[in-house]
């Protein structure tokens, strides 16, 4: 473990930015991991067996890589119109590329909580959503777009997204990550925020009383993903720090591991979007990646307090996993924590501080 990083994160724990954290950093051939704090304030210690709700890091760790595998195997093209795969789509000339770049024209989110409880109804509603802008007109970060990408993966492959990404990407690369971890893993998962009433009612309707405790634990925090049954393109993946470290190592190895096609996926892909294909890119200032990670860096953040960045030029990666929404959502000290952590992690990885 890295004592400098541990000390920095411990300071933030004392400020109640989050109760605990796990982290990793590395290069194509070395990985460093560590953890500090507890899963809940005053609860069990965080360690390497702690699992985390990856939130929107799911978009890159699952959905983006699932689409990548389909494109790499020539089962679909980036410029295939969405309507060719999803006839119910109202995205007009919008393509799979537009969905990945978040410039497909869809609104960011759909507040389904308390309104829709049936997973099939929610899915139909999202896939039939009307755009609010023309494809390619502007970038608007959209969870709905990644639900569409999930449906595209499932229509083409004939498999559930969770099954497809496990068999085609996670398992071949030795990445430990799963959707719907289940009741037997509750004791290993860092809980998120207090369980709202609508989730208690839905859990009872679905016969999942085990998932209803004081805090959300063992089921996904994101409302859309929860209503869809726990598997979604926008959120729902859980992973321990070791699984995220392996994913980071695969990404930093780039074309050597993923194939020559991967180079196109990590550069800004449109004049209308600051995004790469599925991935976020580093802004010149104020980035969660800090100042050490280069401008070609790519990664993603997650609402629950997760974050991953890869610097393809320095050939280093790092990730920070926290449950910053516990016990109550609202504290955003994580916006200060992330840059500090990623600067320290970049220095550790580039200096070879893996002991």
Query: In angstroms, how far is CA 246 from the centroid of its own chain?
Result: 15
Query: How many whole angstroms separate alpha carbon 317 and alpha carbon 291?
Result: 14
Query: How many whole angstroms separate alpha carbon 61 and alpha carbon 251?
Result: 10
CB 139 within 8 A of CB 247: no
The H-or-E segment that residue 321 falls in is strand 316-322
CB 309 within 8 A of CB 293: yes
The tokens for 331 are: 């504290």
Strand order in the sheet with 237-240: 51-53, 237-240, 178-179
Query: How many whole angstroms separate alpha carbon 266 and alpha carbon 297?
Result: 8
Pairing of strands 20-26, 51-53: unpaired
Query: How many whole angstroms separate alpha carbon 159 and alpha carbon 175?
Result: 19
Instruction: Quote the pLDDT of residue 268.
Output: 87
Instruction: Quote the pLDDT of residue 123.
Output: 97
Query: How many whole angstroms separate alpha carbon 193 and alpha carbon 328?
Result: 5
The H-or-E segment that residue 52 falls in is strand 51-53
* Right CATH for 61-170 from 3.90.950.20, 3.40.710.10, 2.60.40.60, 3.40.630.10: 3.40.710.10
Instruction: Quote the pLDDT of residue 350.
Output: 97
pLDDT in tens, 150-163: 999 999 999 999 99
Query: How many alpha carbons lie under 13 Å from residue 287 in its C-beta half-sphere?
Result: 25
Q: Rounded to the nearest 10 degrees, what angle do helices 334-351 and 3-14 cross at?
A: 170
Nearest to 186 by CA among 322, 305, 44: 44
pTM for the model stands at 0.97
CB atoms under 10 Å from CB of 348, counted, come to: 21
DSSP 34: E
Q: Which residues have C-beta within 8 Å of that of residue 84, sequence separation ≥ 6? A: none
Instruction: Quote the pLDDT of residue 242.
Output: 98
Q: Rounded to the nearest 10 degrees, what angle do helices 119-127 and 143-157 cross at?
A: 100
Instruction: Quote the pLDDT of residue 355.
Output: 66
Secondary structure (3-state) at 288 = coil
pLDDT in tens, 121-150: 999 999 999 999 999 999 999 999 999 999
Domain regions of the chain by residue span: 61-170
Instruction: Quote the pLDDT of residue 332.
Output: 96
Q: How far is CA 231 from CA 38, 62, 132, 163, 267, in A?
A: 27, 10, 26, 10, 28
149: β partners: none
Q: pLDDT means per 10 residues in the chain (355 residues)?
A: 94 98 98 98 97 98 98 97 98 96 95 90 96 94 98 98 98 98 93 95 90 92 97 98 98 94 89 88 94 97 98 98 97 97 98 86
Angle at 95 between CA 75 and CA 159, to 5 degrees: 40
Token pair 């969660």 is found at 288
């Amino acid at each position: 473990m890295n004592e400098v990083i541990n000390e920095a994160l411990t300071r933030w724990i004392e400020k109640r930015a989050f109760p605990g954290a796990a982290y990793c950093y590395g290069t194509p051939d070395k990985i460093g991991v560590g953890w500090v704090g507890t899963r809940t304030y005053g609860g069990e210690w965080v360690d390497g067996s702690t699992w985390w709700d990856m939130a929107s890091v799911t978009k890159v760790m699952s959905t983006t890589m699932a689409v990548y595998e389909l494109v790499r195997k020539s089962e679909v093209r980036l410029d295939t119109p969405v309507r060719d795969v999803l006839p119910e789509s109202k995205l007009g000339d919008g393509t799979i590329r537009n969905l990945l770049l978040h410039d497909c024209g869809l609104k960011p989110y759909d507040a389904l909580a308390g309104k829709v409880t049936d997973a099939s109804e929610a899915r139909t509603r999202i896939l039939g959503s009307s755009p609010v802008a023309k494809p390619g007109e502007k970038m608007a970060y959209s969870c709905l777009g990644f639900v569409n990408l999930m449906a595209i993966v499932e229509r083409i492959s004939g498999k559930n997204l969770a099954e497809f990404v496990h068999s085609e990407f996670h398992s071949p690369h030795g990445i430990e990550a799963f959707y719907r971890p289940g009741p037997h893993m509750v004791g290993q998962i860092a809980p998120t925020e207090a369980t709202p009433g609508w989730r208690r009612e839905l859990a009872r309707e679905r016969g999942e009383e085990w998932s209803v405790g004081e805090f959300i634990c063992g089921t996904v925090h994101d409302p859309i993903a929860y209503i869809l049954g726990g598997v979604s393109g926008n959120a729902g993946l859980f992973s321990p720090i070791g699984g995220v470290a392996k994913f980071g190592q695969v990404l930093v190895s780039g074309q050597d591991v993923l194939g020559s096609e991967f180079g196109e996926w990590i550069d800004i892909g449109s004049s209308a979007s600051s995004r790469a294909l599925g991935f976020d890119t580093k802004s010149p200032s104020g980035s969660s990646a800090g100042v050490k990670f280069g401008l070609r860096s790519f990664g993603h953040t997650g609402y629950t307090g997760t974050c991953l960045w890869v610097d393809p030029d320095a050939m280093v990666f790092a990730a920070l996993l926290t449950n910053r929404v516990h016990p109550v959502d609202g504290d955003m000290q994580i916006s200060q924590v992330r840059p500090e952590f990623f600067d320290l992690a970049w220095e550790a990885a580039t200096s070879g501080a893996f002991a």
